Amino acid sequence: MERLKKQNEAYRTQIQLLQEAELQAQKNHRSVVDGYNELLNEKEETDKENEKLRDQVQQLGESKVKENEKFRQLVLKYNQLVRQYEELKGDIEKLESEVEESNEKWIDYSKDMEEKLEEAENEKEKAEEEVETMKEHFKMRRGNMAQNMSVLREQMEEKDKEIEKWKNHCNEINHKAYAFRSRQVKRRLFHRLDDKLEFGDEQEQKTAERNIKTMSVMLRKGEEINELIEAEN
């Protein structure tokens, strides 16, 4: 978009410069025409002067040799004026041709600039339409993403519920396993203590009674009694 704006501005600047150049060319053309008119006036004056000179030449033809030299100089001046007039006339025709050619080139260039400017405007409109399309596309994508995020959050909540359910299930299994293991430990410990009470010496019987009391306290507190089993071993 920025590139198109700069290009449009450059085209407008070029067209403005061409318009200024056309105005200058028109001024030059008017100046040439004015010069041409002045030359015509000068020619008329020169013709009048030449007429006078012819009269003088005719009079000088009848005068002395000195007057003949003056006549010759006047003729040379007349011929010089005629040559200058012809040269100026050729310059005017050349300038008129150049002005006409310049006007034709300017017209062609103006048409080309107008076509390029129109093409740039079309590209600008097309780019603006593409931008609007992209905006709508991104808007739709944001809407779809929001909807997908909502679905994902619902799925995550469902997964969290399933995970919590499995955690509770695992804890329940662990509690059952712990209770089963505790019953096995208590059973083995009772068997050993009973054996010592029945078949052991006095010291072993006292130790067994003390361990039974300790085991009862630990079981009431929910503590592990593996240490007692290791002590018995």
Looking up residue 91, the CATH number of its domain turns out to be: 1.10.287
- Same domain? For 22 and 66 the reply is yes
The answer to whether residue 160 is domain-embedded is no
Residues above pLDDT 90, as percent of the chain: 0
Query: Which residue type occupies 31?
Result: S
Least confident of 4-18, 52-66, 109-123, 173-187: 173-187
CA–CA separation, 72 vs 216, rounded Å? 163
Q: What is the pLDDT of residues 156-171, one digit of tens each?
A: 778 777 777 777 776 6
Q: Which two tokens stand for residue 122?
A: 């079309």
CA–CA separation, 78 vs 47, rounded Å? 9
Q: What range defines the domain where residue 177 resides?
A: 171-232
What is the distance of C-alpha 24 from the center of its chain?
Answer: 40
Rounded average pLDDT over 12-20: 74
Residue 233 is predicted with a pLDDT of: 47
- Same domain? For 148 and 178 the reply is no
pLDDT band, residue 106 (cuts 50/70/90): confident
Q: Which two tokens stand for residue 85?
A: 């007039």
Are the beta carbons of 145 and 36 closer than 8 angstroms?
Answer: no
Rounded average pLDDT over 20-41: 73
- Same domain? For 80 and 193 the reply is no
- Indicate the angle between helix axes 65-199 and 202-221, nearest 10 degrees: 140
- Same domain? For 115 and 217 the reply is no
Least confident of 1-5, 80-84, 152-156: 1-5
Are the beta carbons of 124 and 1 closer than 8 angstroms?
Answer: yes
Which among 203, 180, 178 is positioned nearest to 211, based on CA atoms? 203
- Same domain? For 133 and 215 the reply is no
- Same domain? For 145 and 75 the reply is yes
Rounded average pLDDT over 119-140: 77
- Same domain? For 139 and 44 the reply is yes
pTM of the full structure:
0.28
The answer to whether residue 159 is domain-embedded is no
- Same domain? For 95 and 190 the reply is no
Q: What is the pLDDT of residues 203-213, one digit of tens each?
A: 766 776 777 67
Count: domains in the chain: 2
The answer to whether residue 165 is domain-embedded is no
- Same domain? For 74 and 126 the reply is yes
Residue 69 is predicted with a pLDDT of: 74
Q: Which two tokens stand for residue 8?
A: 């449009």
